[in-house]
Amino acid sequence: MTPRTDHRYFLPRHGLAFEASWPRPARTRRGWIRARFYGLVFGGPTPGSPEEKVNPEALVAAVDLVEAQDIEAATRAFTEMGYRVTVRALR
């Protein structure tokens, strides 16, 4: 599984939505230009992105916790990887 910036899971048994999002770095104009140049010249993941920072095996384990509907353990696992987690009620 490839780490992305946003992961959303719906847990209807609990009536909850589990959302994990990667915090966007505050970039200056110069930082944005450098990141864009890096992407054009070298390709691949942007430095500081979850594709570069998150271990895919740890992500699979965290997703398994969500699928098992162990919300507290999944929240801890995603938080330890660097994601911001929000659990909210389904509308």
Question: pLDDT tens, 24-37?
Answer: 877 777 877 877 78
Overall number of domains in the chain: 1
- Please name every residue paired with 9 in a beta bridge, in sequence order, or none if there are none: 18
Say if 44 falls within a structural domain.
yes
Q: Give the tokens for residue 13.
A: 């048994």
Say if 34 falls within a structural domain.
yes
Domain residues for the domain of 46 are: 6-89
Examine the pLDDT at 70 and tell me if it is beyond 90.
Answer: yes
pLDDT of residue 56: 92
Please state, in angstroms and rounded to a whole number, the distance separating the CA atoms of residues 67 and 74.
Answer: 9
Examine the pLDDT at 3 and tell me if it is beyond 80.
Answer: yes
The whole model's pTM is what?
0.79
pLDDT of residue 30: 80
Say if 12 falls within a structural domain.
yes
Say if 72 falls within a structural domain.
yes
Say if 11 falls within a structural domain.
yes
**Terminal CA-to-CA distance of the chain, rounded, Å?**
29
Please state, in angstroms and rounded to a whole number, the distance separating the CA atoms of residues 79 and 22.
Answer: 10
